[in-house]
Amino acid sequence: MSKRILVVGGVAGGASAATRLRRLDESAEIIIFEKGPHVSFSNCSLPFYLSGIVEDMESLVLMDPETFKAQYNIEVRVNNEVIKINRSKKTILVKDLSTGREYEEHYDKLVLSPGASPIRPNSIEGIYNQNVFTVRDVVDIDNLKTYIKEKSIKDVAVIGGGFIGLEVAENLRLAGMNISLIEALDQVMAPFDYDMVQILHKEIMDHGIDLILSDGVKKIGKDYVELQSGKIVKAEALVMAIGVRPETKLAEEAGLEIGETGGIKVDRNYRTSDKDIYAVGDAIEVYNRLTKKPTRLALAGPAQRQARAAADHIYNIPVRNNGVIGSSVIKLFALNAACTGLNEKQAKAAGIIYDYVYIIPQDKVGLMPNSSPMHFKLLFEVPTGRILGAQAIGRGNVDKRIDVIATLIMMNGTLEDLKELELCYAPMFGTARDVVNHAAMVGLNILNGVFKQVPVTKVRDLVENNAHIIDVREKYEYEAGHLINAVNIPLSQLRQRVDEIPTDRPVYLHCRSSQRSYNAIMALQHMGFDNLYNISGSFLGISYYEYFNDHVTGRNKILTEYNFK
């Protein structure tokens, strides 16, 4: 007898599960229930409709119910919300939202892919005003765009500096709005460390967005927002993008187990605590391969993989579950920013002993058009050298480098493996020693104690405490901008000026991007100097790290001029 499989939710996870199920069983009866009016839309593309990069709202919807029926013999019931699961009877209660009618459907297997909903804190006064929007589906984005257009709105506040917040802010900015981006933490994009994220802060600021950190919304008015700090921000419309909450109500009410992170608990086969009910996507709790702890991950790629795995398991096909590492990428104006695995905050929280490198090599051969510096941070476990994570920001192909690291993490690779990777090279695409190879070499030096480093985050302290800093760039570079109090001894004069280097206290060296300071340190160490530190990221890294906060706080600069090239 053929199986009857019902799927709750028709976006990434639900649609993928259903089509995979069809390929595994031509005779199964498969029905998708979607409470919204659309199935299988590109939720990741929604923000691009605001700027017109995606011109046509219809194009956001990838498949309609008719196509599902015709191509896959899958029935899709949009505007039908599943409101209850009766596990003992193996039925669901469905509400047809267009008629209000409620009806039951029997299942042999049930797949839950309800997703996650944008958080709207009730504590904010005016949170349900008509000028407050969230971005979850095609209807949401259409409402927002229509409202902006009809009311000729110029000032928009975007609350939350995560993926959706940034993409919405950018696309509205591209459409000519004045944007205030308000984030409760001291940085946007939590997957990036505080040092790396300053590069994004600069980009946001450089594009005329008013970036407000460490502040939250208290009250939403008709044409303004009042922040916790008391600050008033002009805003005729507001987009809430502070995060999402997994849609677990249905599962919870059915008595399915909920995990410690608040997502639906599933086993390695994406089966809930009921053997006939599976759950996938943003609503579930997954296993982090690196921290070895449960987590949640609202990303389309993992959702699709989980959906396929759940479908496979229903048909007794063995499933591999490698856990998640969390790989993501975002375009932000002229920059691309990608990351994978753990950042410093996460590694610390997980109690993992780690170290890191921060390098800024060119993303392709310097002679080539559009060659530009790539900021690259790599974390590795101590003492094993196992790769833990990476963050990359630049104008070039950061995603390429992060995908290589993600692959290595999944394969339990180490710095030694990364150093030896034989990647494809031509001057238009990279350098003979790619960014990632380079990072591994520096990482091995750090891991093996070949030289010591201090992070860019500590440079202000060094300068303020009159540490002995040597800038080994050429004089003309030094004169164009340098750390206050830094001594200039170009690498090209170093060997003649060794007696100028003190031996009675720590000496900190930097150049533009640490290539020359590394060579300087190696030479000096061979001469017997043993209290030397390389400033990780060097002057380029320092410039980026200091810039945003200098401008926002008006604090004293620790350098005479920035250098971003």
Quote the radius of gyration of the chain (alpha carbons, Å).
Answer: 27
Whether the CB-CB separation of 380 and 388 falls below 8 Å is answered with: yes
- The region that residue 296 occupies, defined by phi over 0 for left and psi between -120 and 50 for alpha, beta otherwise, is beta
CB of 150 to a copy of itself, least distance (A): 24
Minimum CB distance to a copy of itself, residue 546 (Å): 27
7: three-class secondary structure by DSSP: strand
Please give the Cα distance from 359 to 361 (Å, whole number).
6
* Nearest CB to a copy of itself, comparing residues 23 and 154: 23
Which pair of tokens denotes residue 333? 């104006």
Q: Which C-beta is closer to a copy of itself: that of 58 or that of 150? A: 58
Binding map of a copy of itself across residues 500-539, x = CB under 8 A, - = no contact? ----------------x-xx--xx--xx------------
Got the DSSP string for 221-233? -SSEEEETTS-EE
In the list 100, 208, 230, 369, the residue contacting a copy of itself (rule: CB under 8 A) is 369
Residue 427 CB, nearest approach to a copy of itself (Å): 5
Among 400, 460, 473, 510, binds a copy of itself (CB under 8 A): 400
Question: How far is 401 from 399, CA to CA, in rounded Å?
Answer: 5
Q: Where are the alpha helices (DSSP H) in 448-504?
A: 459-464, 475-479, 491-494
Question: Which of 60, 347 has the CB closer to a copy of itself?
Answer: 60
Query: Where does this chain touch a copy of itself (CB under 8 A) — which range of 38-46, 174-182, 233-241, 274-282?
Result: 38-46
Closest C-alpha among 242, 245, 237, 247 to residue 126: 237
Phi, psi of 545 (to 5 degrees): -65, -35
Concatenated DSSP letters for 312-359? Answer: HHHTT-------B---EEEEETTEEEEEEE--HHHHHHTT--EEEEEE
End-to-end CA distance of the chain: 68
Stretch that binds a copy of itself, among 120-128, 146-154, 317-325, 536-544 (CB under 8 A): 317-325
- Select from 180, 153, 410 the least CA-distant residue to 290: 410
Nearer to a copy of itself by Cβ, of 264 and 491: the residue is 491
- Residue number, 228 or 493, with CB nearest to a copy of itself: 493
Residue from 399, 471, 477, 546 touching a copy of itself (CB under 8 A): that is: 399
At residue 220's C-alpha, the angle toward residues 215 and 226, to 5°, is: 40
Dig out the tokens for 109 from the structure: 């297997």
Indicate the residue among 62 and 352 with the shorter CB distance to a copy of itself: 62
Residue 556 touches a copy of itself, criterion: CB under 8 A: no
Query: Is 404 near a copy of itself (CB under 8 A)?
Result: yes
Residue 140 vs 274, nearer CB to a copy of itself: 140
Closest CB to a copy of itself among residues 53, 484: 53
Q: Which is nearer to a copy of itself, 233 or 319 (CB)?
A: 319
Span near a copy of itself by CB under 8 A; candidates 118-126, 182-190, 200-208, 365-373 = 365-373
* Alpha-carbon torsion (304, 307, 312, 313), positive or negative: positive
Residues 75 and 69 sit within 8 Å (Cβ to Cβ): yes
Spatial distance between the Cα atoms of 126 and 118, rounded to a whole number of angstroms: 16
DSSP SS3 for 271: strand
- Which of 111, 264, 402, 463 touches a copy of itself (CB under 8 A)? 402
- Pick from 40, 134, 180, 336: which binds a copy of itself (CB under 8 A)? 336
Q: Which of residues 125-184 bind a copy of itself (CB under 8 A)?
A: 163
Stretch that binds a copy of itself, among 15-23, 85-93, 103-111, 124-132 (CB under 8 A): 15-23
Using CB under 8 A as the binding rule, whether residue 269 contacts a copy of itself is answered as no
Question: Which residues does residue 391 pair with via DSSP β-bridges, in sequence order?
Answer: 339, 377
Q: Of the two residues 21 and 225, which places its CB atom closer to a copy of itself in the complex?
A: 21
Quote the least distance from Cβ 339 to a copy of itself, whole Å.
7
Nearest approach, Cβ of 293 to a copy of itself (angstroms)?
A: 17
Q: Which two tokens stand for residue 85?
A: 């699961």
**C-beta of residue 161 within 8 angstroms of C-beta of residue 153:** no
Q: Which of 89, 149, 495, 551 binds a copy of itself (CB under 8 A)?
A: 495
Residue 270 C-beta: closest distance to a copy of itself, Å: 14
Q: Which of residues 425-454 bind a copy of itself (CB under 8 A)?
A: 425-430, 432-434, 437
Least distance to a copy of itself from the beta carbon of 510, Å?
Answer: 16
Q: How far is the CB of 63 from a copy of itself (least distance, A)?
A: 12
Residues in 44-83 that interact with a copy of itself by CB under 8 A: 44-45, 48, 53-54, 59-60, 67, 70-73
- Maximum CA extent, the chain: 89
Secondary structure (3-state) at 373:
strand
SS3 374: strand
Give me the least distance between CB of 10 and a copy of itself, in Å please.
15
Both tokens of 237, joined, read 């419309």
Contact segment (CB under 8 A) with a copy of itself among 76-84, 253-261, 363-371, 554-562 equals 363-371
For tokens 């530009």, the residue is 372
Stretch that binds a copy of itself, among 97-105, 149-157, 244-252, 327-335 (CB under 8 A): 327-335
Q: Between residues 90 and 438, which has the closer beta carbon with respect to a copy of itself?
A: 438
Give buried/exposed letters for 109-130 (b at 16+ CB in 10 A, else e).
Answer: bbbbbbbbebeeeeebebeeee
